[in-house]
């Protein structure tokens, strides 16, 4: 249904005008007062401990705490007017209600790892940041095999809490302990267990979210459409997710890891070609990814070193014969393998020694990543990259001092889940995902490295997925396209939307239109609405061919 009937228009206007109306009869003339006096926030906690203006002494350190990419610390983009650090759900409600009332935008920050800093900088001021750092309680229920996790928690805290309760349970999510569960799980989330258990988002059984009205909903009250959308579509377009209920998975008490490294001179290209043929078809107990680094080999020749790093869900005895049959070229030896607990493998993949006290997983920032400038892009590979393609890629990597690739094999459970099960569409038929990365230390070099990564991306076009050339939302990339304003149309947004979501994009747009009809939760890559605004009150265009009836449900 294309047409927009009067009744629909009326409903829309009511929704989008609420904040205009209430701001005109306002008794409060600033956000702080509103926040303090909003009925939701009647707590003993003084507002000065929850809301920090950009002029306050604690602002900088709090703001800095969850910034993982220095590009967005030194950016000229506007910073928030306020940092709100809720201790209670009602603080989140008050922040949303007052931001709407005062015409402020909202950004939500969990772990702050967004590749484009969208959780704490914005091209459109004024805005506030709701930083969930204090909403991070974790409850593990081993009998039920579930975890309830506040979205301010990081993956390391979740893994730590699970390991404290059980040595045979785990959760399939990313490898970096400081990544926040808010962004990570709502954008998909993959890690060493995903060939066996799917994405983090595939293992969510319930969630709590606050919408633009400050209403708190769980799975049953939000409905299956919104519950679908926030498991891979990114949370930020829809509201503030407060917590997840997650299904824990089984891990054996003994797992095995290995890391076999070869330089180009040691035949890495041939090994990689074999890897491309088999890594996605291996038993789903084996996760075997490849990372690359530029190294200086003896005698001082720059080369690329490939690391074949694996987590196997079982003992060495069972791994060796499988590797012998499937990937004998790697020449895996018993002495390359180490048996350990699953939680030690978490340390291993986070680049800690496996004897490190587990408490290190509770730390919010890690020295390896917190002081770097970086940029990244992603691709999916559908058929093996040719010898010529690889040689050109290595050459590109060598142009850059700190270039890296992370090559992640798919298959296993990922191929058994349909592309529309969640918004994350990269399922069957993907051999592996690529992440290209460049890191550097000086702000004045940024442009150079951004150009480099764009060149690599252009170079790789013939070798990766096409129409659309797919990308992973959690490796957010504004070069793919962006919203310049609140009224970016569905057609315009398809440029990047189809890359992240493929055919799921349209359903995301419908859900967005239904749950956030005034586009309050806007950002540079938020899901657009089915219609767009000329100003705050006038709809100028409804996208043809799309059923608009859905809005009537509000």
Ligand X SMILES: Cc1cc2nc3c(=O)[nH]c(=O)nc-3n(C[C@H](O)[C@H](O)[C@H](O)COP(=O)(O)OP(=O)(O)OC[C@H]3O[C@@H](n4cnc5c(N)ncnc54)[C@H](O)[C@@H]3O)c2cc1C
CB of 93 to ligand NAG, least distance (A): 16
Q: Is 433 in the site for ligand X (CB under 6 A)?
A: no
Cβ atoms < 10 Å from Cβ of 406: 18
Tell me how far CA of residue 253 lies from CA of 53, 162, 258, 313, in angstroms: 48, 13, 17, 9
Beta strands 146-150; 169-170: pairing state = unpaired
CB of 224 to ligand NAG, least distance (A): 32
CB of 525 to ligand X, least distance (A): 8
Selection from 118, 469, 464, 434 nearest residue 292 by Cα: 434
Q: Which helix (H) or strand (E) holds 322?
A: helix 316-326
The length of the chain, given as a count of residues: 554
Residue 235 interacts with which of ligand X, ligand NAG, none, CB < 5 to 8 Å by class: ligand X
Query: Contacts with ligand X in 130-159 (CB under 6 A)?
Result: 132, 151
Beta carbon nearer to ligand X, 211 or 264? 211
Rounded CA separation 85/49 (Å) = 8
Helices 89-101 + 6-24 axis angle, to 10: 100
CB of 39 to ligand NAG, least distance (A): 11
Residue nearest to ligand NAG (CB): 485
Residue 433 interacts with which of ligand NAG, ligand X, none, CB < 5 to 8 Å by class: none
User: What is the torsional sign of CA 511, 515, 519, 523?
Assistant: negative
CB of 131 to ligand X, least distance (A): 8
In the stretch 21-60, what mask flags binding to ligand X with x, by CB under 6 A?
A: ----------------------------------------
Binding site residues, ligand NAG, CB under 6 A: 33, 36, 47, 54-55, 81, 125-126, 270, 273-274, 277, 442, 444, 485-487, 533-535
- The footprint of ligand X on this chain (CB under 6 A) covers a number of residues equal to 35
CB 104 within 8 A of CB 128: yes
Q: Is 487 in the site for ligand X (CB under 6 A)?
A: no
Query: Contacts with ligand X in 356-385 (CB under 6 A)?
Result: 369
Selection from 100, 111, 536, 233 nearest residue 92 by Cα: 100
Query: Contacts with ligand X in 58-117 (CB under 6 A)?
Result: 68, 107-115
Six-digit token pair at 181?
């569960």
Tell me how far CA of residue 543 lies from CA of 216, 343, 502, 548, in angstroms: 30, 49, 18, 9
CB of 157 to ligand X, least distance (A): 12
CA 387 to chain centre: 32
Is 484 a residue of the active site?
A: no
First to last CA, the chain: 17
Beta carbon nearer to ligand X, 36 or 188? 188
Find all residues with CB under 8 Å of 390, minimum gap 6, and list them: 269, 272, 273
Beta carbon nearer to ligand X, 36 or 483? 483
Residue 277 interacts with which of ligand NAG, ligand X, none, CB < 5 to 8 Å by class: ligand NAG
Q: Among residues 175, 256, 375, 378, which is the contact residue for ligand X, using CB under 6 A?
A: 175
CB 195 within 8 A of CB 207: no
Q: Is 182 in the site for ligand X (CB under 6 A)?
A: yes
Q: Among residues 36, 122, 186, 276, which is the contact residue for ligand X, using CB under 6 A?
A: 186
Q: Is 343 in the site for ligand X (CB under 6 A)?
A: no
Q: Which entry of 463, 475, 490, 533 is annotated as an active-site residue?
A: 475
Rounded CA separation 446/374 (Å) = 8
Find all residues with CB under 8 Å of 38, minimum gap 6, and list them: 93, 94, 97, 98
Q: What is the DSSP string of 311-356?
A: EESS-HHHHHHHHHHH-GGG---GGGEEEE-HHHHHHHHTT--TTS
Residue 186 interacts with which of ligand X, ligand NAG, none, CB < 5 to 8 Å by class: ligand X
Q: Among residues 177, 180, 233, 409, which is the contact residue for ligand X, using CB under 6 A?
A: 180
| Residues contributing to the site for ligand X (CB under 6 A) | 68, 107-115, 118-119, 132, 151, 174-176, 179-180, 182-184, 186-191, 234-236, 240-241, 369, 474
Q: Which residues are catalytic?
A: 475
């Amino acid at each position: 249904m294309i047409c927009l009937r009067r009744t629909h228009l009326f409903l829309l206007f009511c929704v989008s005008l609420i904040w205009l109306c209430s701001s005109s009869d306002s008794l409060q003339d600033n956000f702080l007062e509103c926040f303090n006096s909003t009925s939701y926030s009647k707590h003993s906690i003084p507002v000065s401990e929850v809301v920090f203006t950009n002029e306050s002494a604690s602002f900088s350190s709090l703001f800095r705490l969850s910034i993982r990419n220095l590009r967005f610390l030194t950016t000229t983009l506007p910073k928030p007017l306020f940092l709100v650090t809720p201790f209670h759900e009602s603080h989140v409600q008050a922040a949303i209600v007052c931001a709407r009332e005062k015409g402020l935008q909202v950004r939500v920050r969990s772990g702050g790892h967004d590749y484009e800093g969208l959780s704490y900088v914005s091209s459109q001021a004024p805005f506030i940041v709701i930083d969930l750092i204090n909403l991070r309680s974790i409850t593990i229920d081993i009998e039920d095999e579930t975890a309830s996790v506040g979205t301010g928690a990081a993956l390391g805290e979740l893994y730590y809490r699970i390991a404290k309760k059980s040595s045979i349970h785990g959760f399939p999510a990313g490898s970096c302990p400081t990544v926040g569960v808010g962004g990570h799980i709502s954008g998909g989330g993959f890690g060493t267990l995903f060939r066996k258990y799917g994405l983090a988002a595939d293992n969510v059984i319930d969630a709590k979210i606050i919408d633009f009205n400050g209403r708190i909903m769980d799975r049953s009250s939000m409905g299956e459409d919104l519950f679908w959308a926030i498991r891979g579509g990114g949370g930020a377009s829809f509201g503030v997710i407060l917590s997840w209920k997650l299904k824990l998975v089984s891990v054996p008490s003994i797992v095995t890891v290995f890391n076999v490294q070869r330089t180009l001179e040691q035949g890495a290209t041939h090994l990689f070609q074999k890897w491309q043929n088999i890594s996605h078809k291996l038993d789903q107990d084996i996760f075997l990814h490849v990372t690359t680094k530029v190294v200086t080999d003896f005698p001082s020749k720059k080369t690329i070193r490939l690391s074949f790093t694996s987590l196997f869900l079982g003992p060495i005895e069972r791994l060796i014969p499988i590797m012998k049959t499937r990937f004998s070229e790697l020449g895996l030896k018993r002495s390359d393998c180490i048996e350990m607990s699953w939680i030690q493998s978490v340390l291993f993949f986070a680049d800690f020694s496996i004897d490190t006290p587990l408490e290190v997983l509770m730390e919010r920032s890690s020295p390896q990543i917190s002081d770097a400038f970086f940029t990244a892009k992603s691709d999916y590979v559908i058929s093996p990259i040719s010898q010529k393609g690889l040689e050109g890629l290595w050459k590109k990597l060598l142009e850059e001092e700190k270039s890296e690739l992370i090559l992640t094999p798919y298959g296993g459970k990922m191929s058994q889940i349909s592309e529309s099960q969640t918004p994350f569409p990269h399922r069957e038929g993907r051999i592996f995902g690529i992440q290209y990365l460049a890191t550097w230390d000086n702000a004045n070099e940024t442009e150079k490295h951004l150009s480099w990564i764009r060149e690599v991306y252009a170079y790789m076009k013939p070798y990766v997925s096409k129409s659309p050339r797919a990308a992973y939302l959690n490796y957010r990339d504004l070069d793919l396209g962006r919203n310049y304003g609140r009224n970016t149309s569905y057609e315009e947004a398809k440029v990047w939307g189809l890359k992240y979501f493929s055919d799921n994009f349209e359903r995301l747009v419908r859900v967005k239109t239904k749950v956030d009809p005034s586009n309050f939760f806007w950002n540079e890559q938020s899901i657009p609405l089915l219609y767009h605004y000329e100003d705050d009150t006038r709809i100028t265009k409804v996208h043809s061919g799309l059923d608009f009836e859905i809005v009537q449900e509000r």
